[in-house]
Amino acid sequence: MRPGDGRRRSGEGDEDTGLPIRGNDRPAHLSGDEPARAPRSQPPNDERERKMSHYTSIALEIRDREALVAALGDLGIGKVEVHASPQPIRGYDGQTRRAEVILRGVGYYGGDVGFRRTRDGRFEAVLDQDDEQQLGRDWRNRLLQRYGRHVAVARLQKKGFRVVREEAREGKLHLVLGRAR
């Protein structure tokens, strides 16, 4: 639009939207010259979601396999399998990985969740990206808390202590100990 003449010309911007004006004085997105687009907020279809699903490895400060197995048992997520060597675990759409400690069929799509030992001796969780949703948002914290409890109790028992009472307060686990007789 040129100052003072009151007319819009083709190619000049609309004052309200800033979009170019076509010859019919309509913004380009309303002119019919461009094909209609699907709304951007449209949820992805199942096929797209399936193709995007992938395995994730989460490093954990877990080294003691027995304490890991006991902690997983405490959480009651599923039956825990323990293997001397890595075994196949399955994820969504036939994806596979290998792990020594396995929870079968507990994942979001019915896949497996595994734990494999890394070169530095720690375990890492191996799971599909959607499995964390299935396990709950705080599953790692609960696992690490239960793991820490089992490691502490095993060490304390070696030093002649026993757990008299456990108390959970404000998200923390408190152990009351006594001397073993």
User: How many Å apart are CA 90 and CA 86, to the nearest integer?
Assistant: 13
Degrees, nearest 5: CA angle 141-150-99: 70
pLDDT of residue 83: 97
All CATH 3.30.310 domain ranges of the chain, comma separated, are: 53-179
pLDDT of residue 15: 53
Q: Which residues contact 39 (CB under 8 A, 6 or more apart)?
A: none
- Residue 32 · residue 88 · CB < 8 Å: no
Which candidate, 132, 126, 140, 130, places its Cα nearest to that of 87?
126
User: How many Å apart are CA 151 and CA 60, to the nearest integer?
Assistant: 14
Q: Which residues contact 61 (CB under 8 A, 6 or more apart)?
A: 122, 144
Is the pTM of the predicted complex or chain greater than 0.85? no
Q: Mean pLDDT by 10-residue block, N- to C-terminus, for the chain (181 residues)?
A: 51 50 45 43 39 62 95 94 96 88 91 94 90 84 92 91 85 81 72
- Residue 172 · residue 144 · CB < 8 Å: no
Q: Which fold has domain 53-179?
A: TATA-Binding Protein (3.30.310)
Give the distance, in angstroms, between the CA of residue 2 and the centroid of all CA atoms in the same chain.
56
